Amino acid sequence: MKKCHNDAKVEAAFQNSRLHKHEDALRLLKTSRGQINAVIKMIEDGRYCIDISTQLLAAISLLKKANTSIINKHIETCIRGAIEEGNVDEKLSEMEQIMKYIERTL
């Protein structure tokens, strides 16, 4: 597993807040999980296709928001730490890779 920082002090500072770092994304993911479960039930119950699609799109929207939250936290913490450490090249390369992936999925 890759870590945000190579510096032990920076890593220790973020260790305590790790659960809170992605609190928003976690909330969105749990909500989307509930929506996906509801979509499964709708399909099993033979509900109307457009209603199913609407709920799927709502879940997709939440997943996109969760991803945006994760990426923003990466920028705020991991990239900021890499800049402070003078080790930004690897993090920029990672961001370029994820942006290419995002571009392909749009």
- Between 11-15, 43-47, 76-80, the lowest mean confidence (pLDDT) is in 11-15
Domain with 69, as residue range(s), is 23-105
Domain count within the chain: 1
Does residue 11 lie within any of the structural domains?
no
| Sign, CA torsion 41/44/45/50 | positive
Q: Is residue 73 domain-resident? A: yes
The answer to the question of residue 30 being in a domain is: yes
The answer to whether position 32 is within a domain reads yes
Is residue 5 assigned to a domain? no
65, part of any domain: yes
**Residue 41, in any domain of the structure:** yes
CATH number, domain of 55, equals 1.20.58.1000
Q: How far apart are CA 28 and CA 104, in angstroms?
A: 23
Task: Summarize the confidence of residues 43-48 as an average pLDDT.
Answer: 98
* Banded pLDDT at 20 (limits 50, 70, 90): confident
Q: How confident is the model at residue 2 (pLDDT cuts 50, 70, 90)?
A: low
The first and second tokens of residue 55, run together, are 């709920």
